[in-house]
Structure 1
């Protein structure tokens, strides 16, 4: 089943961490597609659980397209807005509701009336916003900030997350009642390395897309390159595959992509949960308040990770230096951020925290600035000619 899912404006999309194409050649993917299309025909709220770059928004769009709904499909990345703005963005506000609110404005729920609202990174919402979202889902109406007048809604919600919500509930970061409201129909989207039958069809799809842009035709993969693609574990999923193929087309010769043309630089190998030797032996020595840790020394296999970490902590405490907590926190944030190539989504997932919490730490330790424009990375899609008033 070589069905292809892409974005309507796929050719003009800016670079992002989203997967821009999905195929269903693998038997596991084919079964998933049938499940998605059955869910689409219902009115059930859906929750898509998967890693970044696997195609969650494409699945959400497919649900909308097969739902029979005539309204718009609108996608909002909850992690792209600051805590102070997300409330007004989702639910709207009246003039004078807060400083800078010079006119009334509808929110994304109102904009999606009659259609589907896709909320990505739902696990990043604060507990206060989770309460408001739960109320909207229960009452099927929204109240703008600064207003007491409820506005009826006819919106189907599809949510997505790369966070383990069960662990988030245990840690009291996510409300269990909201989880049960969202997960009426749960879709577990496997990572790319678990659906190997999709890898080569997707690779040839990206060869065709970028080959046309680069005026290269009839480019093919050597048998060694195909084997390398199938054996790689794709920590970045479909988005990483797209980047690998794009780069390979730039450096390949005679219209044949060989294994050496593939820039397979993932940080971790998930089969067997092993780490590549290059990562395991690298030395990283951040310095904070006079402290220094040699990560190569800490990575020796003789002792367990817990024992090695405890030894380092005891040694630091015994020095009597102030700022031990700050030192270890910064070392952890620095190391994880660099390990994930400064990708905030992957770093937050690696550390088991929300993206908003990670941003707070990154700002505190000077790894990102405070002047990032709120919502500048928002992944919002409105139909042509539609605007929020």
Structure 2
């Protein structure tokens, strides 16, 4: 219950929540609309081919699909013609993909020719279920070509325009469709997403597709001193405050007839929140120090990576303002949920840097036997990296790789980048040990609490006390199970099994001689999720 006098939480608003291909498609959907198993090129001796795709239509019809260096053709989305893989080091004998329930079984031509997560595929093949396909499965051929086996949206008429965004994943295509649906409407839009996901690019796409021909003005509220924010946004009159020697127009009036993009809107001060709410409700604003309102005609687009609902509970954000800002909500997917886009995005950023250096010829080598410009092992690292900084971080990594490898025929990782892409876990704090749980089938739930009340030391102690069983730890803490994952993701010292690199998993498996319980203690992740990751790598835990 809200405290007396507190803002009432806003009613649900229209939300464009972009999900993965597997989650967005109900079981038993018609074959014409079901996501299709697909292969996307992540690394190739001719680097310009990164991003080309092969849709495995036959699997939906219950047929086997084969792949060799000579056939079939990979094509760039939207283009009719393509080419086979064509790498002379790849076997002429075909790799086979066969239906396996809701998953796919991959059978190699001969053991050692194709690897998955650094391990050769066994002669009997390996089956990948829908969860693995939703995350993406990396297959490497002859240490030179890498493809990602994943689920792709079924092609259909009226594909959305690219809107300046690189990628063809299901979450990105869904986002483009939602942008097209709301762009020409004069409703405020709230863009949510993690840092570095491209929120300003989405705001620019909304502006370019709108009916407005006015300016696009971008403002980062987190970069404006709070004492100046009101005057910067709404303008001020001469003498309104000390040092005010002339009238100031303000960003709202600078964007008249166009779009005003407010990034990091969660950083708005209470004063600015009240003034924003008035503008959204009345279409009028009061410059600081003015006694008369000024009419404004601005399409407002706001963005945040903050949990505004939590801020409302804490009294730091006004619920009515959230309701007004979110006339329509767009949620941007993090890069780790659109792994098939990582290769094309990396190529896009790397090409820009290579062209600036005059070295774009590396992308189209004349010798098919030359080492690839993007080594397969590096491509695998890029795809498996969790990218906490998302697209911004990927762009910076691409720039660093190209510049540090300047004058060389292929990219090389320096020590700093190798460390960044490995993302070693920082030592966890050592809280006081929690009391041992009683030997009951399920621990008694504590009184219900808000997840914001649980600090990292208490969370870590509960997880350790319950052997990293997320359900039991949630019951012990008295919070929802889903909140545990949110807390782990927000904690710099904790991680999920999905964040573990292939190298770390494999190394720990061998060090623990396949003992899953010992691996849980060392890696400190959920046993169930760790067991699933280990099996996806083709490793067999002791006792199974």
Asked whether 1:240 is paired with 2:390, we answer: no
Q: What pairs with 1:18-33 in structure 2 (closer than 5 Å)?
A: 22-33=165-176
Alignment match, 1:251: 404
| Higher normalized contact order (CA 8 Å, seq sep 6+, divided by chain length) | 1
- Distance change >3 Å, CA 302–CA 193, structure 1 → 2: farther
Partner SS state of residue 355, structure 2: helix
With the length of structure 2 as denominator, give the TM-score of the two structures: 0.47
Distance 1:154 1:307 in 2: 48
Q: What pairs with 1:328-339 in structure 2 (closer than 5 Å)?
A: none
Alignment match, 1:305: 457
Partner SS state of residue 261, structure 2: strand
- The total of aligned residue pairs comes to 276
Distance 2:261 2:419 in 1: 31
Question: Is the 8 Å Cα contact of residues 222 and 259 (structure 1) preserved in structure 2?
Answer: no
Partner SS state of residue 101, structure 1: coil
Alignment match, 2:230: 87
- 1:178 CA displacement: 0.5
31, 45, 61: which is aligned to 2:204?
Answer: 61
- 1:85 CA displacement: 0.4
Asked whether 1:280 is paired with 2:434, we answer: no
Partner SS state of residue 118, structure 1: strand
- 1:159 CA displacement: 0.2
Partner SS state of residue 105, structure 1: coil
Deviation string, structure 1 residues 323-359 (Cα, Å, up to 9, x no partner)? xxxxxxxxxxxxxxxx79xxxxxxxxxxxxxxxxxxx
Partner SS state of residue 47, structure 1: strand
- 1:59 CA displacement: 0.2
Question: Is the 8 Å Cα contact of residues 235 and 267 (structure 1) preserved in structure 2?
Answer: no
Partner SS state of residue 213, structure 2: coil
Partner SS state of residue 300, structure 2: strand
Alignment match, 1:200: 343
- 1:298 CA displacement: 5.2
Gaps of 5+ in 2: 1-76, 79-160, 364-372, 437-455, 463-491, 494-544
Question: Is the 8 Å Cα contact of residues 207 and 249 (structure 1) preserved in structure 2?
Answer: yes
RMSD over aligned Cα, in angstroms? 2.9
Question: Is the 8 Å Cα contact of residues 244 and 264 (structure 1) preserved in structure 2?
Answer: no
Question: Is the 8 Å Cα contact of residues 262 and 302 (structure 2) preserved in structure 1?
Answer: yes
Alignment match, 1:139: 282
- 1:161 CA displacement: 0.4
Q: Quick check: which one's helix share is greater?
A: 1
With the length of structure 1 as denominator, give the TM-score of the two structures: 0.65
Distance 1:121 1:128 in 2: 16
- Distance change >3 Å, CA 142–CA 187, structure 1 → 2: same
Question: Is the 8 Å Cα contact of residues 244 and 262 (structure 1) preserved in structure 2?
Answer: no
